[in-house]
Structure 1
């Protein structure tokens, strides 16, 4: 048991530290998030080129066409997620909202590929989704600055709603991407 403590705290501490760092960057310069996304993609592509494909000497198991579509879709989803931060969506809500992928994946799997799940899984996903809805609604109510005029508050709420719509699109696109990856 004691051998697991250090890795668990290391992962949790690193994750929390990373999120604090990302949240500070997002607050100070939201447009920097796209640069971070691009840098991450560039690093992963270089790593894959060097270590996975060994400079294209290892044959692909999936056709390159599948990779191009998948990476393009994934990049688009990440850019839309980043842009949502420009619409008054707080980072904690952003993180909580993205965990709604369970419901999106479950629904798309049922409707697109006819997959079925146990009632226990449906109830679990419903409970998690309910928590996400509560957090989303709580954030919409709390975000108001009481010194804003009605017009400013209305504009702020409309922008927040656009950010939530962007996150919803990205959530559904990400769930669809997961289904496509399973089928590849």
Structure 2
């Protein structure tokens, strides 16, 4: 596998996606639902060709959807969880949550995964995993409090910030439940159906936006009110609201990011994937804090972020060691069993 294009997709696509997301939300903080809707439409359309096949209807060849390899009812459950997580994450921007906290908070999902895995799936964790999750928890708390410090002067801002943190917490919980459900789905039907999951989770999420059409209409109106700039070539073009330019870039970079992550996941170990994604998040954090906001951050923010990154790697490595240990024990048991049978 040529890792050059893959790393270009991940670091170029994912880091650019974080940049365009922050720029979009700085321009229109209340556009979270609109952005999520457009992202879902674009992803479903791009994934659609891979789920089409030729069939015959009364002897006439027609293009139709492939038969899903996983029952639709399982996708419907995952759709509710996935769309809820995406909407909550994007809506949190409207409550003065900086991008740096978004990045750190999303990296703390393993805390919820561990608790839910212990409570629902009956899992047990080794010492390294427990220490790593404690480190991640401390890092998320430190980074969150560090970002909240400048807004304590105004009770209103502090209250809005707390509401945004609450939304991010709900998103983590929803994401954790979705992760366990997805693991059980793949364990039962196989891991090779990621493209089918990508298509159906985004396609079936679109009707959920009809539950609150007023929000999308209002956000479209707000987007249309942003300053317009000329997009064209040699006099052919039009004046377009500036928000749509950044929104388009966000959608395109998200597609590149998804492509890169899926290629990497299919080619290397989970520890290697985690390492690459941790470095990517660190780069995004630097871009957000230092380049976009022209701020060096503070010691607490960087210490918390470092703790999250190190804890993520420790948790992943501890999980792989546990899996390797279980695999060796299984081989020994099987060998012993075969010896007795002989």
Conservation of the 8 A alpha-carbon contact between 1:87 and 1:163: yes
Which residue of 2 is the match for residue 181 of structure 1?
182
Conservation of the 8 A alpha-carbon contact between 2:96 and 2:157: yes
Structure 2 counterpart of 1:71, from 79, 94, 98:
79
Which residue of 1 is the match for residue 7 of structure 2?
8
Which residue of 1 is the match for residue 28 of structure 2?
29
Greater shift after overlay, 39-48 or 68-77? 39-48
**What pairs up with 1:126-137 in 2 under 5 angstroms?**
126-137=134-145
Instruction: Label 1:93 to 1:117 Cα distance change in 2 as closer, same or farther (>3 A).
Output: same
Which residue of 2 is the match for residue 140 of structure 1?
148
Instruction: Label 1:56 to 1:107 Cα distance change in 2 as closer, same or farther (>3 A).
Output: farther
Instruction: Label 1:6 to 1:53 Cα distance change in 2 as closer, same or farther (>3 A).
Output: closer
Instruction: Label 1:18 to 1:126 Cα distance change in 2 as closer, same or farther (>3 A).
Output: same
Report the alpha carbon displacement of residue 136 of structure 1 after superposing the two structures with TM: 0.6
Conservation of the 8 A alpha-carbon contact between 1:74 and 1:174: yes
Conservation of the 8 A alpha-carbon contact between 1:49 and 1:56: no
Report the alpha carbon displacement of residue 7 of structure 1 after superposing the two structures with TM: 5.0
Which blocks of at least 5 consecutive residues in structure 1 are unaligned? 147-152
1:112 aligns with 2:113: no
How many equivalent pairs are there?
A: 175
Q: For the residues of structure 1 that align with 2:102 and 2:183, how far apart are their CA atoms?
A: 25
Which residue of 1 is the match for residue 169 of structure 2?
168
Q: For the residues of structure 1 that align with 2:86 and 2:162, how far apart are their CA atoms?
A: 18
1:122 aligns with 2:121: no
As a proportion of its length, which structure holds more strand?
2
Normalising to structure 1: TM-score of the pair?
0.85
Aligned with 1:156: secondary structure?
Answer: helix
Q: For the residues of structure 2 that align with 1:46 and 1:137, how far apart are their CA atoms?
A: 40
Which blocks of at least 5 consecutive residues in structure 2 are unaligned? 54-62, 186-342
Greater shift after overlay, 35-44 or 84-93? 35-44
Greater Rg by CA: 2
Greater relative CO (CA pairs within 8 A, separation 6+): 2
Q: For the residues of structure 2 that align with 1:173 and 1:7, how far apart are their CA atoms?
A: 29
Normalising to structure 2: TM-score of the pair?
0.48
Cα deviation per residue 1:70-96 (whole Å; 9 max; x = unaligned)?
A: 112211111111111111111111121
Report the alpha carbon displacement of residue 157 of structure 1 after superposing the two structures with TM: 0.6
Alpha carbon RMSD of aligned pairs, Å? 2.1
Instruction: Label 1:13 to 1:143 Cα distance change in 2 as closer, same or farther (>3 A).
Output: farther
